[in-house]
Structure 1
Amino acid sequence: MEYKRLVIGFGISVLVAVVGYFAMLVVGVRYQMPLLKNAEVWLKDVYAMKDRLNKKPTQRPRVLIFGGSNVLFGFNGAMIEANVPVRFINYGTHAGLPINYQVDKILHTARSGDIVFYSPVFSAFFATEPYEDLWYVQNMISWDKEYDKFITKKSVFLAYLYNDPMRIFQNLAKILVRSLLKTKEPATPKATATPTKKLLKDGLQIVPCGQEFYGYSYRSLSANGDFCSQYTATSLAANEPYIYAEATLSRFFIQEFSRLQDFAKRSGIKVFLLYPVSMENPLFSHNDSKTLEKINRLESQLLARGIGFANSWKDAHFDRKYFYDTGYHLNKHGVELHTIAFIKLLRSILQAEG
């Protein structure tokens, strides 16, 4: 009997612990705590800051660019505005957010007369609907609960089930410490003013980034929504193939980009597709015939659907020394080069439109 009571007591304890664990998890997520394994709750504040920038009135033509962190880490908006009479807003965030999310964000933020650029990472061209994509689901239920496209009850259940309990308790401890020390940050701070020091290079004004880099946080955003001041002498990025052999443009990408094009026509908005940045490496090189075949194959598949790139791949392909921590994140020197190429492209677009 004593043994039976011990077994029952142990079973009840385990049941209570499991129920308590998941209850704590659900409550924590409800209050937007970064508890789930893949939750990037910092994106909530980053979007809040970008939305705030988007609402500011301006007399200049507006240029908006959307995409993943390749866009977030890819431009210096102050430098663009110093050389082209436009208002530039960088809406880049995270490549894990699928094209449906990016398109819907454009639909909610772009205005008639805007010029909109979309620069997805290469994998987005071949991705399918994000059903049961745990990264996507965990982020939506953590900081954008109203967005439930392609999210089922099963995927929500799995999003709560597949987590690292140790990380959850570590995050809870960090949250408690910050709360006790009263170091919680405001949601949308004012960005640092654009610096006044300017240099000339190739006939363009070279403007330093208007914000220090504080890591993956809204505090690193410039007044244009960029992460443009990060620096490393040598990139930490591993070699990357970017496009796998025989990759085929997905029906999902065509469907969603066509939806964006239809919206643009109805709303008086110009939409352009941009190559994402990529790093020169043995697996993806301008000297490699297989790499060129991949690029040509992608361009051909897009052109067959009436979709083309506004820039060339070589304008977005840089040596390793111009990258920060991944093969999609430029350091401040790479940002300068990428921004110069974009300024030239933007000038040609504006000139063609008269």
Structure 2
Amino acid sequence: MIKKYKKFLLVFVGLLFCASVIYTGGFIWANTLENGTDGFYFTKNFLLENTKDRPRIILDGGSSTHHSINSLMIENKLNRITLNMGYNAGYPLDFRLHRLSHFISSNDIIVLPLEYPYYSRDEQAMISVISDELVSYGKFHFNALPLSKKLLVITRLNFNQATKPLKNVYRLAKHKLLGSDFNFDEKLEIIKLLESGERGDINYNALLQQGIDLHKIDHNNGATCQEYIAVDKINSDFIKNIELIKQIQTESGAKFIFTYPALAGKDCFDFSTTQGKKLKALIEQIKPLVESYGLLFVGNPFESYFPDNMVDTYWHIDEKARNIRTKRLIEELKKTGLFNTHK
């Protein structure tokens, strides 16, 4: 009886292991399939993948980068195609870095205007909305991760998130059997996108035409600027990310440049408060730390700060401030000597 029980247990465990392997492999494969979603997430990735043969400036970070860079202004002054990959600072930095590593070369210069929490937060604390995106329109980050990190992400998904890639399989089968079209596919021509001026920036004009008044939207939930930033000391995860950047820079030949994030709202840099003192201490640490690894860090935090130009949150500046900030960033980038500004 005991032998039969042991045999049953071994068979059960073996079947469970096989099922887990099949599910994991199927999940990873299904998440690479077209999921029929359009929008700027896909456009950004499409531009990144299809301009690899050209010298580029690639900006990456959270939504502060998305809102506060005029890429065409940089492109016209520094004579390089400039792409804005910024969106949602909830993505861990290493996810962004792994995605970049798949599509960059020695011709690229990567600019990181990282929000302050990137230096201080625990990267393992991935919020639920990011888990949702990793199996939908933010899947490009998941697909670029090494296997060990993919497995870690999968273990953290809830049931709904874990079954989302099944929709991709359904759409693929429907497309193959019935010839149905996806909403977003590779038929989009990169030349037309580039000629249209699409670089991944927020389109303020389109929002205005839609009647959206961003200044009436408040995403700060009653928090002060410093409470919203919620910084502390530099986290050990950021040290690991610097080492990853050094590895990617060595392997790809690309150059990485750090700069300060755009910030808006009154009293963000009031260093007399308890939280303000923490922010000041963090700012004083990050540049020397980054430079100690042989990486460039340009500008100063006050060049990117606009007390009266907040849009819907402290990390988002309006179009007027964006152009001022971009001009200042161009001058700082010129000082690095990495750009040929003579046509």
What TM-score, normalized by structure 2, do the two folds share? 0.65
Residues 236 and 138 from structure 1, CA distance in 2 versus in 1: closer, same or farther, beyond 3 angstroms?
A: closer
Aligned length: 280
Shift of 1:92: 1.6
- The equivalent position to 1:225 in structure 2, one of 173, 193, 200, is 200
Which residue of structure 2 aligns with residue 75 of structure 1?
69
Superposed CA offset, 1:205-261 (max 9, x none): xxxxx4xxxxxxxxxxx2x2222425547363435334436x121111111122202
Question: Whose helix proportion is higher, 1 or 2?
Answer: 2
Report what 2:309 is aligned to. Answer: 321
Provide the residue aligned with 1:236 in structure 2: 217
Q: What is aligned with 2:241?
A: 256
Aligned equivalent of 2:330: 343
The one-letter code sitting in structure 1 at the alignment partner of 2:337 is: L
What corresponds to 1:191 in structure 2?
193
Distance in 1 of aligned mates of 2:339 and 2:75 = 19
CA offsets per residue over residues 108-131 of structure 1, 9 Å max, x none?
222114221112222221222436
* Paired residue secondary structure (1:226): coil
Query: Is contact 1:77–1:90 with CA below 8 Å preserved after alignment?
Result: yes
1:138, CA displacement in angstroms?
3.0
Answer yes or no: is the 8 Å Cα contact 1:234–1:321 preserved in 2: no
Structure 1 alignment gaps of length 5 or more: 1-25, 35-39, 195-209, 211-221
- Matched AA of 2:256: V
Q: Work out the CA distance in 2 between the residues paired with 1:132 and 1:184.
A: 30
Which of the numbers 92, 101, 124 marks the counterpart of 1:98?
A: 92
Q: Please list the CA deviations of residues 273-329 of structure 1 after superposition, one character each: whole Å capped at 9, or x if unmatched.
A: 121111122xx4334433653343113433246267312111111134352x33223
Q: Which amino acid aligns with 1:48?
A: N
SS at 1:73's partner residue?
helix
Distance 1:103 1:192 in 2: 24
1:54 matches 2:51: yes
Counterpart contact for 1:63–1:87, Cα < 8 Å: yes
Structure 2 CA distance for aligned equivalents of residues 115 and 62 of structure 1: 6
**Is 1:87–2:87 an aligned residue pair?**
no
Instruction: Give the Cα separation in 1 of the matches to 2:313 and 2:59.
Output: 20
CA distance in 2, matches of 1:127, 1:228: 30
Aligned to 2:4: none
TM-score (norm: length of structure 1): 0.64
- The equivalent of 1:299 in structure 2 is 283
Aligned counterparts of 1:260 and 1:146: Cα–Cα separation in 2: 15
Matches within 5 A, 1:62-211: 62-130=56-124, 133-142=127-136, 143=139, 144-145=142-143, 147=145, 149-152=148-151, 156=154, 159-161=157-159, 185-187=183-185, 189=188, 190-191=192-193, 193=195, 210=197
8 Å Cα contact 1:43/1:93 also seen in 2: no
Q: What is the identity, as a one-letter code, of the residue corresponding to 1:285?
A: C
SS in 2 for 1:334: helix
